[in-house]
Amino acid sequence: MFSRITGVGSYLPGQAVSNDDLAGRGIATSDEWIVSRTGIRFRHLAEEGETSSDLALQASRRALLAAGLEASDVDLIVVATSTPDYIFPSTACLLQSKLGNHGATAFDVQAVCSGFVYGLTIADKFIRSGSHRRALVVGAEVFSHILDWSDRGTCVLFGDGAGAVVLEASERPGILATALHADGAHHDILSVPGSVCGGKVTGDPFLRMDGQAVFKFAVRVLAEVAGECCEAAGVSPSDIDWLIPHQANTRILEATAKRMKMPMDKVVVTVDRHGNTSAASVPLALDEAVRDGRIRAGQKIMLEGVGGGFTWGAVLLEF
């Protein structure tokens, strides 16, 4: 038994916000700085009351429609998010309620920007075990809600959005290989080191990052974990049709492609228009490339995540 992606969907809230728009809001930055350091030109930002489950709902409906399924058909809902609606219940349960699904297994995965790759791997294992047959795997984030808008080193980098896939049991693969890793020794280079206690926020409720440490870590592990996945599946990197790494920075994407000896025209890039949408970035990019016809049935796709924790991972699949 294997698992296969049978439907993909995504959702971006509101209008695209440009770098100049951010500079116009009083952030001491410029389009030139942001584009040259990150490749980011636009991002979408959710409204104040708009939550991860709201964005997840729109992306999920589109993925279910693409798969030709109803919400009641899925028996597993996994939501990858670091910006959950509540402390509890899980965003997956809130999404389940909005979708009108009753009884499916539902839980969140917290692996920051690797969250979707973690969630997809977990769902693959549920399906391959025979316990579940149809999963909805979602990456949904409203990082704009946890940004310190006075910290120009972080607030220009992130955006909001959601992406979803339907993963179904199949006799034909599907997902060919997966690899997940973490090293909590690096927990402090990218974190939101706050919590709620006694009715108050304790610690710091905003995203903090050592950008250069994150950059170096990301480039190294993205190339390594892709190689590990290829080896596990017996697939050469040159056989990969499309590489979809976590969309954090075009320089990270370029360095990863170079290390993997892949031309940039095989890399799906959305960070220029979406910014870094954390767990949503990989399914958003996957959906874009499926809908515009770049990704076709039978092609080999490498999905990769890297983020806070530190966490990293990859999924190699045949579409």
Q: Please tell me whether residue 3 binds ligand UT7 under the rule CB under 6 A.
A: no
What distance in Å separates the CA atoms of residue 157 and residue 211, rounded to the nearest whole number?
A: 11
Q: Please tell me whether residue 276 binds ligand UT7 under the rule CB under 6 A.
A: yes
Nearest to 236 by CA among 284, 303, 302: 302
- Closest approach, Cβ 25 to ligand UT7, in A, equals 12
Q: Please tell me whether residue 78 binds ligand UT7 under the rule CB under 6 A.
A: no
Q: Please tell me whether residue 307 binds ligand UT7 under the rule CB under 6 A.
A: yes
Which is catalytic among the residues 113, 155, 229, 230?
Answer: 113
Mode of pairing for the β-strands spanning 194-197 and 200-203 = antiparallel
Q: Please tell me whether residue 60 binds ligand UT7 under the rule CB under 6 A.
A: no
What distance in Å separates the CA atoms of residue 294 and residue 191, rounded to the nearest whole number?
A: 35
- Examine the residue annotation and report whether 101 is marked as an active-site residue of this protein: no
Among 33, 42, 107, 149, the residue binding ligand UT7 under the rule CB under 6 A is 33
Among 6, 81, 121, 249, the residue binding ligand UT7 under the rule CB under 6 A is 249
239 in Cβ contact with 296 (< 8 Å): no
Q: Nearest 5°: phi and psi at 277? A: -100, 25
- Examine the residue annotation and report whether 249 is marked as an active-site residue of this protein: no
54 in Cβ contact with 11 (< 8 Å): no
104 in Cβ contact with 64 (< 8 Å): no
Q: Please tell me whether residue 211 binds ligand UT7 under the rule CB under 6 A.
A: yes
- Examine the residue annotation and report whether 113 is marked as an active-site residue of this protein: yes
Q: Please tell me whether residue 203 binds ligand UT7 under the rule CB under 6 A.
A: no
Report DSSP letters for 292-312, one per residue.
TTSS-TT-EEEEEEEETTTEE
Residues near ligand UT7, by CB under 6 A: 29, 33-34, 37-38, 113, 152-153, 156, 190, 209, 211-212, 214-215, 218, 248-249, 252, 276, 307
Active site residues: 113, 246, 276
